[in-house]
Structure 1
Amino acid sequence: MKFQGVLFFPVTPFAPDGSLDEELLARHIESGVAAGAGGVFVACGTGEFHALTPEEIERATRVAVTVTAGRVPVLAAAGGPVPVARDQAARIERAGADGILLLPPYLVTAPQQGLLRYAEEVTAAAELPCVFYQRGTARLTEATAARLAALPKVVGLKDGIGDIELMHRIVRAVRAVPGTDDFQFFNGLPTAEMTAPAYRGIGVGLYSSAVFAFAPEIALAFHRALATADEPLITTLLDEFYGPLVALRDEVPGYAVALVKAGVTIRGLDVGGVRAPLCDPTPEHTARLSKLIDHGLEVLGA
């Protein structure tokens, strides 16, 4: 399972009655794959994993697998308490996914050996490859990361902490382990484009793009600019689109998800609001987001 290009983290659409809307999810995913996504990570952070039932995760995964039809890899999230995460992993496998994004255990702060044990026990519930998400209560040392990379089912590490020095040490430690040439590293910070140049400098070229969910034109243009070292376009997009987007995102907790969902609706697919404890953007913030999207597209001449 090898990734390249922009990684797509779709939102999870909800119908007016609050239920999972499979038809809208299928349209959302098809649109992203057709636009050029390099992989689909369904029912993950942007997809409100925290607010979905295990049954909804399974259904969403099945929709993604059906829609993509093998064109790109499909991963779905498992996490939280070990019994719940194991059930989610089994459901994801049953739905036909290509892999699992393993989120941190819930609430508790664990020792390094405990994080390894968590990965071992959850991945044992399915035969799927797994990408470990380092964030929150799951902060690895470079020694633990090297041991994690040696686990047979763990094929990648996604960083959501943002400690560049630590991540550089982790990359170097993992690469020193024989047989890890294919192990993949991901930048998983919110609005990852803001830090993509820095991560690229330490050997982490893959990143999750929340912007791709509502403005694939902008996300793809930025990705191409990085690949071709088009510094003027990188600078313009960071200054005039991504920077202001991050400033808006940081005004309200949870906007890293809620703004993305609002953006999808602004672009023509009404995917509904977010579930509690998140809140939908205010009308003022939605209007600012709409203007930002318009300006980003104008910068590209789109």
Structure 2
Amino acid sequence: MPHLDGVLFFPVTPFDASGALDTAALAKHLEAGLEAGPGGVFTACGTGEFHALAPQEYAEVVGVTVEVTAGRVPVYAGAGGALPLARQFARAARDGGADGLLLLPPYLVQTPAAGLVAYVEAVAAATELPLIVYHRDNARFDPASAAATARLPQVSGFKDGIGDLGHLARMVTAVRGELGGKPFQFFNGTPTAEATVLAHRAIGVDLYSSAVFCFAPEISLAFYHAVRDGDDELVEALLSRFFHPLVALREKVPGYAVALVKAAVRQRGLDVGGVRPPLVDPTPEHLAELRRITEAGLAVCDEAGVR
């Protein structure tokens, strides 16, 4: 099972002017991100609009990602939704050369803990790829079901997208008490994860995903290194002048966790198109605010000499 480290890159999925998948833009987006040095690539996941992709488009996204990445870092692909489709996506990811899966929640229904464990087990049975299970929305694990899921041979990690740190701490304790020597990783996958990195680190969850890496790897990596090296002044400057304003803007409209990232990629020079419904693209007013926030973050990096 691949061991993940560093900043995790969750690329957007580009669409052209007609709304079709734009694989050429995807390749450029991936190459730019890889040159910045992520610890892994998670393609066709939440930021990559997994929910909006047809199975054939998904297979193309995975194939392009694996080809461009060329073994430099592990490639994980999203899977989830209705169980038959989740299993289909899992097999497509395997056939496309992905190294693992990020298992997103099942569609719509509220599920008992035992049902979640059975869902993960059924998807795992479709492929030998290792699974990281996304703890968010309607896929909410309690400590006992988290431990039962972690015991499944192919499950190699949990991604927290909820941010209830007391609950997560109990999950971490339960899982680590069950695993023996099995390699297993938790990571912070809350929207704009940098805003809660310090809190997650306090309970032993150091790894995190970074949507900001998609459009401003300079800022993402500056923050990562500042946290790692104990540069509290730079951490606070980036939080107060960039990450917290970005969170405030993100919270103004549902779905902006994806739409703002895609818009920021466009603002930094790569046309990746807009988001597909039911998401909406940012308003002109919010685009101007997004640009100001990005410029403020880059200015912090310049002032600190880390860009």
TM-score, normalised by the number of residues in structure 1: 0.99
SS in 1 for 2:51: helix
**1:194, distance to aligned residue in structure 2 (A):** 0.3
Query: Structure 2 stretches of 5 or more lacking a match?
Result: none
Please give the alpha-carbon distance, in whole angstroms, between the structure 2 residues aligned to 1:127 and 1:271: 32
Partner of 2:135: 134
Partner of 1:77: 78
Please give the alpha-carbon distance, in whole angstroms, between the structure 2 residues aligned to 1:133 and 1:28: 24
**1:116, distance to aligned residue in structure 2 (A):** 0.5
SS in 2 for 1:158: strand
1:187-266 → structure 2 map (5 Å cutoff): 187-266=188-267
The one-character-per-residue Cα deviations of 1:134-189 (angstroms, maximum 9, x if unpaired) are 11111111111111111000000001111100101111111111435520001110
**1:112, distance to aligned residue in structure 2 (A):** 0.9
Please give the alpha-carbon distance, in whole angstroms, between the structure 2 residues aligned to 1:120 and 1:287: 45
> Does the alignment pair 1:155 with 2:156?
yes
Partner of 2:20: 19
Counterpart code for 2:186 = F
Please give the alpha-carbon distance, in whole angstroms, between the structure 1 residues aligned to 2:48 and 2:171: 28
> Does the alignment pair 1:29 with 2:30?
yes
Partner of 2:11: 10
Please give the alpha-carbon distance, in whole angstroms, between the structure 1 residues aligned to 2:26 and 2:121: 31
* Runs of 4 or more above 2 Å deviation: 178-181
**1:232, distance to aligned residue in structure 2 (A):** 0.7
Counterpart code for 1:245 = L
Say whether the 8 Å CA contact 1:186–1:207 is kept in structure 2. yes
The one-character-per-residue Cα deviations of 1:56-115 (angstroms, maximum 9, x if unpaired) are 111101101000100000011110110010001001111000000001111111111110
Please give the alpha-carbon distance, in whole angstroms, between the structure 2 residues aligned to 1:65 and 1:179: 32
Please give the alpha-carbon distance, in whole angstroms, between the structure 1 residues aligned to 2:195 and 2:145: 27
Q: Percent identity?
A: 59
Say whether the 8 Å CA contact 2:263–2:282 is kept in structure 1. yes
TM-score, normalised by the number of residues in structure 2: 0.97
SS in 1 for 2:264: helix
Counterpart code for 2:76 = L
SS in 1 for 2:106: coil
Say whether the 8 Å CA contact 1:274–1:280 is kept in structure 2. yes
Query: Structure 1 stretches of 5 or more lacking a match?
Result: none
> Does the alignment pair 1:290 with 2:294?
no
Counterpart code for 1:66 = E
Please give the alpha-carbon distance, in whole angstroms, between the structure 1 residues aligned to 2:220 and 2:261: 13
Say whether the 8 Å CA contact 1:150–1:180 is kept in structure 2. no
SS in 1 for 2:279: coil
Counterpart code for 2:283 = T
Please give the alpha-carbon distance, in whole angstroms, between the structure 1 residues aligned to 2:182 and 2:85: 32
SS in 2 for 1:185: strand
SS in 2 for 1:203: coil
Please give the alpha-carbon distance, in whole angstroms, between the structure 2 residues aligned to 1:213 and 1:61: 17
In structure 2, the CA distance between the partners of 1:180 and 1:281, relative to structure 1 (3 Å rule), is farther
Please give the alpha-carbon distance, in whole angstroms, between the structure 2 residues aligned to 1:178 and 1:50: 32
Partner of 2:187: 186
Counterpart code for 1:262 = A
Please give the alpha-carbon distance, in whole angstroms, between the structure 2 residues aligned to 1:279 and 1:209: 21
SS in 2 for 1:86: helix
Say whether the 8 Å CA contact 1:75–1:97 is kept in structure 2. yes
Please give the alpha-carbon distance, in whole angstroms, between the structure 2 residues aligned to 1:48 and 1:91: 17
Please give the alpha-carbon distance, in whole angstroms, between the structure 2 residues aligned to 1:178 and 1:68: 31
Counterpart code for 1:75 = Y
SS in 2 for 1:195: helix
Say whether the 8 Å CA contact 2:150–2:179 is kept in structure 1. no
> Does the alignment pair 1:280 with 2:286?
no
Please give the alpha-carbon distance, in whole angstroms, between the structure 1 residues aligned to 2:231 and 2:182: 28
